[in-house]
Copies of this chain bind each other. A is one copy, B any other.
Amino acid sequence: MNDVPATRSGRAPRGRAAAVGLSREQVISAAIAQIDAKGLSAFSLRELARGLGVSPAVIYWHVGGSKEDLFAAIAATITGQLAAAQDPLAPWTDRLRQVFLAYRASVHRHPNVSPLLGAQMKSNGVANLDWIEIVLAALSDGGFQGDALRNAFNALIGGLCGFVTVELAPAPSSEDGAWQDRVAARMAEVDPEAYPLTHAALPELANRIFVLRWQNGAQVPYDDSYTVLLDLLIDGLAARARSSATLETPEPLHG
Contact = CB atoms under 8 A, between A and B. Distances in A.
A158 to B, nearest CB: 4
A208 to B, nearest CB: 6
A129 B211 CA distance: 14
A165 B255 contact: no
Contact of A166 (B133, B161, B208, B235): B161
A163 B155 CA distance: 8
Number of copies: 2
Contacts of A152: 228
A158 B162 contact: yes
Binding site of A, secondary structure by majority: helix, strand, loop or mixed?
Answer: helix
Contact of A163 (B132, B159, B232): B159
Contacts of A255: 200, 203-204
Interface residues of A, number: 75
A88 interface: no
A181 to B, nearest CB: 11
A211 B119 CA distance: 10
A60 interface: no
A2 B124 contact: no
A81 interface: no
A46 to B, nearest CB: 19
A208 B158 contact: no
A25 interface: no
Given A118-B169, A161-B166, A183 B225 contact: no
A158 B163 contact: yes
A14 interface: no
A170 interface: yes
Interface in A168-213: 169-170, 179, 182-183, 186-187, 189-190, 194-198, 200-201, 203-205, 208-212
Q: Which of A125, A137, A229, A255 has the most CB of B within 10 A?
A: A229
15 contacts: A115-B115, A118-B118, A121-B169, A122-B170, A123-B211, A132-B195, A133-B194, A133-B196, A154-B225, A158-B166, A159-B233, A161-B166, A162-B163, A204-B253, A233-B233
Given A129-B195, A154-B228, 4 more contacts: A150-B208, A155-B228, A229-B233, A233-B236
